[in-house]
Amino acid sequence: MCGRYSLTMEAEDIMEAFLIDEFLAEDWRPRYNIAPSQKVLGAVKANGKRRAGYFNWGLTPKWVKEPNKWKPLINARSESVTEKASFKHLINKRRCILFADGFYEWKRSNQMKQPFRFIRKDHQPFAFAALWDLNEAGGENKPACTILTTSPNEKVEFVHDRMPVILKEEQLSWWLDSDVPFAELQSQLAPFPAEEMDMYQVSGQVNSPKNDDPIILQKI
C-alpha cells in the first residue's frame, strides 16, 4: 500500500522535471507529508500536452450514487486492476501520474510502528502510476485518483508487503498515452529496482498529517 508521500519541489522544477506544458495549480507549495483525502499534484495528457493540476487522493467511481457512503480508494493492485469494477473502465482512458520525491511506510515491531522514508538513490523526483475518475453525484465535480501498487522490492520488503508503482522516465509517455492499450503496459508495472533506492528511518511526527514541514524528512 502507499498511504503517505512527499513532493518538496517548487512548481518550476516540477515542470522541468516532468516536461509539463500547462501547470494549473497556481497555489502549489512544497509538501512533506501528503496524506489520503488531500489534494495531490499530478498530470494527464490532453490535446497532446502534459497538463498538471490537482486530484483528490481517494477515488470514488463515477457509478457510485451515494459518495458519502463510499470509502474512497487510495490504492489499486496493479496485478488485478483489470478485474475490479472500480478500475477496469479507467485503465485505458483515465491514466494519470502523481509527482513525488519520496514515500513513507511503517514497519511494525511488537506494539510499535517505525516509519521509513524511501527515495531514489540519485535524489531525483519520480512519478507514481495512477488512475483517475470523476464522480458528479451530490454536485461534486472534482477528479479523484488512486495510486497503483505492486509487490515490494528487496528494500521495501523489509518494511511492507506492497509498494507504489514508480514509473521510469521512458515509461511516462506510454502510461499517459491513451492510444497505448493497458494490456501492453501491465507487465511493466513492476517494482522499482532496489539498487536504485535508499531508505532511512524518520520521526514519528510523520504519523500525523497535521505535521507537514521539512523536519519530517530528517533521518533519525
Residue range 14-69, pLDDT digits in tens: 999 999 999 999 999 999 999 999 999 999 999 999 999 999 999 999 999 988 88
pTM: 0.96
Distance CA 16, CA 30 (A): 15
pLDDT at 108: 86
List of residues 6+ apart from 215 with CB closer than 8 A: 203, 205
Give catalytic status of residue 2 as yes or no: yes
Q: Which of 2, 16, 96, 195 is catalytic?
A: 2
Per-residue tens of pLDDT for the chain, all 220 residues = 789 999 999 999 999 999 999 999 999 999 999 999 999 999 999 999 999 999 999 999 999 998 888 999 999 999 999 999 999 999 999 999 999 999 999 998 877 899 999 999 999 999 999 999 999 876 667 899 999 999 999 999 999 999 999 999 999 999 999 999 999 999 999 999 999 999 999 999 999 999 999 999 999 9
pLDDT at 138: 65
The 3-state secondary structure of the chain, one letter per residue: CCCCEEECCCHHHHHHHCCCCEECCCCCCCEEEECCCCEEEEEEEECCEEEEEEEEECECCCCCCCHHHCCCECEEECCCHHHCCCCCCCCCCCEEEEEECEEEEEEEECCEEEEEEEEECCCCCEEEEEEEEECCHHHCCCEEEEEEEECCCHHHHCCCCCEECEECHHHHHHHHCCCCCHHHCHHHCCCCCHHHEEEEECCHHHHCCCCCCHHHHCCC
Amino acid symbol at 105: E
Q: Which of 105, 136, 195, 196 is catalytic?
A: 105
List of residues 6+ apart from 140 with CB closer than 8 A: 67
φ, ψ of residue 54 to 5 degrees: the values are -95, 145
The whole-angstrom distance between residue 177's C-alpha and the CA centroid of its chain comes to: 18
Distance CA 116, CA 130 (A): 22
pLDDT at 176: 98
Give catalytic status of residue 105 as yes or no: yes
